[in-house]
Amino acid sequence: MTIRRLALALLLFGLVPATAFAQGSRLWHVGFGGGVSVPAGDFKDVLKTGAHGQAFVGIGPASSNFGTRLAVNYQHFDLKGLPVVSGAPTTTSNGSGNIVSGLANLTYGINFGILRPYLTAGLGAFDVMSKPESGSSTSDVKFGVNGGAGVSFKLGQIRGFVEGRYENLFTDKGLDANATNSKDFAAQVIPVTFGVMF
């Protein structure tokens, strides 16, 4: 086990340019943010615009254009109705929906003075939960992809950022456990995040 850990550590450090050590660049940072989550695709027929929170760890020196981000996200929505099933509209149902996700993304950014625009894309697992006022709660884990763009900027000793992403969940039922015939349900969300990095 010790040999495996040592080999993994050497591999990770081997991916970091030697100049990063010479410059004393920190190899990781943490970030926190939150904002609005806008349902898209068929999700917009089920969910109202919601809110989300995010925490992440970024790996990679500040002098490098490339980096890795490991993030945990929580999104909350109010239900506004259920999707069409077999061509017949269903009745609306009050309640709430939540999505908890873990994402692994690659980032690419370029420094322009105090500004750093960047692109991000990756894979993740999404736990989609619904809590209708009538009926039983459901929870289903689905995999998905996400991508987006943002810009970070200096705020003294820390950095702020604004970011928009597009999340596409690989699911055929969304938040409606009864929608067994809705095979082409498009589960998509657009989170817009404001936050800080340390």
Domain CATH for 82? 2.40.160.20
Residue 5 phi/psi, 5-degree rounding, is -65, -40
**Is residue 18 assigned to a domain?**
no
| Residue, of 133 and 116, whose pLDDT is higher | 116
Q: How many CB atoms lie within 10 A of CB 29?
A: 18
* Amino acid making up residue 153: F
| Residue, of 140 and 30, whose pLDDT is higher | 30
**Is residue 6 assigned to a domain?**
no
For residues 166-173, average pLDDT: 82
What share of the chain in percent tops pLDDT 70? 73
Q: For 100-104, 110-114, 120-124, which range has the lowest pLDDT when averaged over its residues? A: 110-114
Q: What is the pLDDT of residue 125?
A: 97
Q: How many CB atoms lie within 10 A of CB 195?
A: 20
**Is residue 149 assigned to a domain?**
yes
* Domain membership of residue 109 as a residue range: 26-197
Count of the separate structural domains present in the chain: 1
Provide the whole-model pTM: 0.76
**Is residue 17 assigned to a domain?**
no
Is residue 98 scored above 50 in pLDDT?
yes
Is residue 108 scored above 90 in pLDDT?
yes
**Is residue 12 assigned to a domain?**
no
**92 pLDDT band (50/70/90 cuts)?**
low
- Note the Cα 114 to chain centre separation in Å: 25
- Note the Cα 112 to chain centre separation in Å: 25
CA atoms within 13 A on the CB side of 150: 23
**Is residue 15 assigned to a domain?**
no
Is residue 84 scored above 60 in pLDDT?
no
**Is residue 14 assigned to a domain?**
no
**Is residue 53 assigned to a domain?**
yes
Q: How far apart are CA 56 and CA 166, in angstroms?
A: 17
Strand blocks (E) in the chain: 28-41, 50-59, 66-78, 95-109, 115-132, 138-155, 158-169, 187-197
Q: What string of DSSP letters covers 42-71?
A: GGGGTB--EEEEEEEEEES-TT-SEEEEEE
For residues 26-39, average pLDDT: 94
